[in-house]
Structure 1
Amino acid sequence: MRQHPISPVTEPMQYRAIGVVRGTYMPADADQLTRGVIQTEDGSEIDAVVLGRVLTLMRRHLDLSKPHLWVAYPRFRDPDQLHLQLVGVWEPSTLSPEESAEEEADDLPEGDGYFSVRGELIYTRPEDGDLVVKIRQQPRPDGRRPTPFKLQLKGQMDPAHLRHFVSLDLRREGQTLQLENHEVIAPVPQRAGRGRGGARGGRR
């Protein structure tokens, strides 16, 4: 049985944005579970959509009246509005009871609201506590490359690390993701003719 919902990194410059949020999923429509909000213990209501096989888990195994630890991809439709794409549930005591009979096995060492983001730092303004990281996604099975997306985060990093690949440990605080720890991996190779952007941290 996997011991953690977030897989170990296999490459030094492996892009990703994934985390866990504990809360009660409230579908917008009782007959259509794919869209709704996650209600968390701190009173936040986070916009969410359900992807793939999670729908089957929800219908067959989960009591949606209770909180669960959701595995999610973070997105931001605007800087102050977190949006979650739900891709899993971390609850071995329910989903693999023969291997994990204790609810304590559902707890993670990082705790609730932990997010791992790995990508290119493209904007930082330390005095305002703003960060923007660009995430590139894996090519699809048909060979098409999805458009990279940006995450607007909170925290302080040195502008000298712009255009570097960074690994960030973040914590959800309300509708934002706050930097707790970071590691600068390496400069990101830039395409010929690409500018560095403006002062203080480039363009978003």
Structure 2
Amino acid sequence: MRAHPIPPVTEPLQFRAIGLVRGTYTPTDPDQVTRGVLTDSNGLELETVVLGRVLTLMRRHLAMDHPHLWVVYPRCRDSEHLHLQIAGVWEPSTLSPDQNDLDDTLPQGDDYFSIRGELIYTKPETGEMVVKVRQLPRPDGKRPLPFKVSIKGELPLEHLRHFVSFDLRRQGQELHLENHEVIAPMPTRGGKSKGGRGAATTRSSR
């Protein structure tokens, strides 16, 4: 079993949007288990869908009336509501062949999210940002459309059109900035960077 549910980055400009949410998943319709809500420890319900590859795992190995630490892909259909796609579960004590003395906790804790993408909107005076994330082509060669993720936090305007790595923490329906690293200006189609020649690297904590 992999030592961490969020794999390490293999390329400097690797896009991704992934996180960890602990909660109890309940289907909206018992006959359609892929759509439902994830209820966290505070009783907040998050609109959720289950990706097909997780269904067999859920049915065979998990007590669905108990909370689990789910590996999720975040989507923001609007700035006020978070939508989740369940892509896996982190529970070595249940799922590992060797279940002795295995710890289900992680250094980042619950509700940690890693978002890597292009900063396309930032309004420091209101603490609002939007990141565009590109997806890998599908096996049939079709390239999915990029999607946008809303973030609560402050970054200066000079980081627009840069590739940024964000460490975030979910608070209710929102993702709040904890740390960030500005990797580089986004390349244009001609191969040049939008924001200049050099890469900028910073770190912040809130």
Give every structure 1 segment of 4 or more consecutive aligned residues whose post-TM-superposition deviation is greater than 4 Å: none
If the length of structure 2 is used for normalisation, what is the TM-score?
0.90
Write the letter of the residue equivalent to 1:171. R
Q: 1:189 deviation in Å?
A: 1.2
SS at match of 1:63: coil
Query: What is the correspondence of 1:126-145 to structure 2 with a 5 Å cutoff?
Result: 126-145=124-143
2:98 maps to what in 1?
A: 99
Q: Which amino acid in 2 is paired with 1:39?
A: T
Whole-Å separation in 1 of the counterparts to 2:143 and 2:162: 21
**Map of 1:68 onto structure 2:** 68
Is the counterpart of residue 166 in structure 1 residue 202 in structure 2? no
Instruction: Count the aligned residue pairs.
Output: 191
- Aligned-partner Cα distance in 1 for 2:17–2:100: 30
Corresponding residue number in structure 1 for 2:23: 23
Shift of 1:29: 1.4
Q: 1:183 aligns with which of 172, 181, 184?
A: 181
* Paired residue type of 2:144: P
Normalising by structure 1, we get a TM-score of 0.90
Deviations 1:141-192 (A, max 9, x none): 1211111111111111111100000000000000000000000000001347
User: Which of 103, 116, 120 does residue 118 from structure 1 map onto?
Assistant: 116
Deviation of residue 25 (structure 1)? 0.5
Counterpart residue identity of residue 133, structure 1: V
CA distance in 1, matches of 2:67, 2:101: 17
1-side partners of 2:77 and 2:147: how far apart? 11
Partner of 1:58: 58
Give the match's secondary structure for 1:93. Answer: helix
**Mapped partners of 1:180, 1:58: distance in 2:** 31
Give the partner amino acid of 2:174.
T
Q: Distance in 2 between matches of 1:91 and 1:130?
A: 34
Cα deviation for residue 33 of structure 1 reads 1.1
CA RMSD after TM alignment:
1.3
Percent of aligned positions that are identical: 66
SS for the counterpart of 1:53 is helix
In structure 1, how many angstroms separate the alpha carbons of the residues matched to 2:157 and 2:164? 12
Match of 1:200 in 2: none
Deviation of 1:95 (Å): 0.7
**Which residue identity does 2:53 align to in structure 1?**
R
Q: CA deviation at 1:32?
A: 2.1
Residue type matched to 1:60 in 2?
Answer: R
1:11 aligns with 2:11: yes
- Residue number in structure 1 paired with 2:49: 49
Distance 1:9 1:121 in 2: 18
